[in-house]
Amino acid sequence: MSKKSIVKEYMTKNVTNVHPKTSRNEIIKVMKETGHDGFPVVNENNEITGFITSFDFIIKDHADLVKDIMSTDVIVAQEDMSINDTARVMFRHGVSKLPVVDKDGKLKGIITNTDMVRSNIERTTPNKVKSFKETLEQLYAVKTALKRMKVRVNNLRPTQDKIFADELQGREYELKRGLIEPVIVAKTGSRWILIDGHHRAVASVNLKHEEIDAYVIELNKDVKLGMERTADKSGIYTFDDIKIIDDDQHPLVSITESIKKENDKKELNELSNE
């Protein structure tokens, strides 16, 4: 059975929050500084007492303190709730973000619709790791051991010749917020071969992280993997050799746009023939 993704793995942990006695002017200043339009309200014990948004300012324009402006009927998520359950709650109540609390009701983070989407992008599921492990064993007649550990980024040998700039930006965003998924690595001999997670690894390089979280599949004998040979032929030895596609788009987008251009061309031809 695959492990369920839970809220605390994807929520933003460093949350800007405000106090019930914070003034209207201070909140407006915080909104301008952060670019956010809503904040959890907590008491001295870091317990959620409300939530304040820019909309609350509009409907309660006479009040000066947060406690008189905020909404007190707050929907929250427990940090150990599954992503799927949380998504259903958000959809049912028509909200785009939820404060996250622990079992004592203390604020631990905030989760948004964007986090929900990111939880399903480039995920390293247990089934995915198991599939790679079994494939290596069958292809090379070896035994393997699986470990989860920190690996030095500079030790990794990439095997992918290109990545997309928009996904790279997303992985950097996740890394900064502590949301990154582990990569998958095969250790054969003294070599650390990156199997899956090239966007995540390059993001780590760009952010100057020395280590990255990884599932390491260790082979019991040194064999040259097929993906290593392919990388050799493509001249991919370090992350500097990977091409970042920033003037192109994903195949589906490109196909969609090419269809649109073709349809536009047909319409122009039809108009010119009328």
Q: Which of 115-124, 177-186, 215-224, 231-240 has the lowest mean pLDDT?
A: 115-124
All CATH 3.90.1530.10 domain ranges of the chain, comma separated, are: 126-245
Residue 154: helix, strand or coil by DSSP? helix
Q: Give per-residue pLDDT as tens, 49-91.
A: 889 988 888 888 788 899 998 888 888 998 988 888 888 888 7
CATH fold for the domain made of 7-118:
CBS-domain (3.10.580)
Q: Give per-residue pLDDT as tens, 182-203.
A: 999 999 999 999 999 999 999 9
Q: C-alpha distances in angstroms, 240 versus 26, 117, 163, 203, 216?
A: 46, 29, 12, 12, 23
Task: Please tell us whether the domain made up of 126-245 is placed in CATH 3.40.50.300.
Answer: no
For 90, phi and psi rounded to 5 degrees?
-65, -40
The CA angle 72-73-77, to the nearest 5 degrees, is 110
What is the value of pTM for the model shown? 0.53
For the chain, list the strands marked E by DSSP: 38-42, 48-53, 77-78, 97-101, 107-112, 144-152, 156-157, 162-164, 183-188, 191-196, 211-219, 243-245
> What is the predicted pLDDT for the residue at 173?
83
All CATH 3.10.580.10 domain ranges of the chain, comma separated, are: 7-118
Q: Give per-residue pLDDT as tens, 94-124.
A: 888 889 998 888 999 998 877 776 666 555 5
For 40, phi and psi rounded to 5 degrees?
-70, 145
